[in-house]
Amino acid sequence: GAVVSQHPSWVICKSGTSVKIECRSLDFQATTMFWYRQFPKQSLMLMATSNEGSKATYEQGVEKDKFLINHASLTLSTLTVTSAHPEDSSFYICSARDQRTGNTEAFFGQGTRLTVV
């Protein structure tokens, strides 16, 4: 299957700082990528839909100024957690659909474990 790569795999940052997470589709182009958040022992909750060349669409309750999304190319979307606080600590996962398969299959990155201290 297609490969989606996230970087970094884990990050520890101080409260008040900003952290950028990258999501790359390595062998396919994706006009749309999705960002999810997963709390321990829980399912994935969609945060936002990242659209190449336009603004992201945020789910209800997700602060767009807090979680900045940029999708500048067909293979890269970034999520920046601004002024991070301990409650932002979570597992963040991105996914992208392979347009070659008609958007049927959604592939996921390996996730980024964010810990804010």
Where do contacts with other proteins occur on this chain (CB under 8 A)? 1, 4, 6, 31-32, 34, 42-44, 46, 49, 51, 93, 95, 97, 102-111, 113
How near is the Cβ of 115 to other proteins at its closest, in Å?
13
Backbone angles phi, psi at 10, to 5 degrees: -150, 150
CA pair distance 23, 27, nearest whole angstrom: 13
How near is the Cβ of 16 to other proteins at its closest, in Å?
26
CA pair distance 38, 107, nearest whole angstrom: 16
How near is the Cβ of 83 to other proteins at its closest, in Å?
26
Give whichever of 47 and 81 is closer to other proteins, judged by the CB atom: 47
Give whichever of 51 and 89 is closer to other proteins, judged by the CB atom: 51
Strand, coil or helix: 84: coil
Residue by residue, DSSP assigns 66-87 as TEEEEEEETTEEEEEE-S--GG
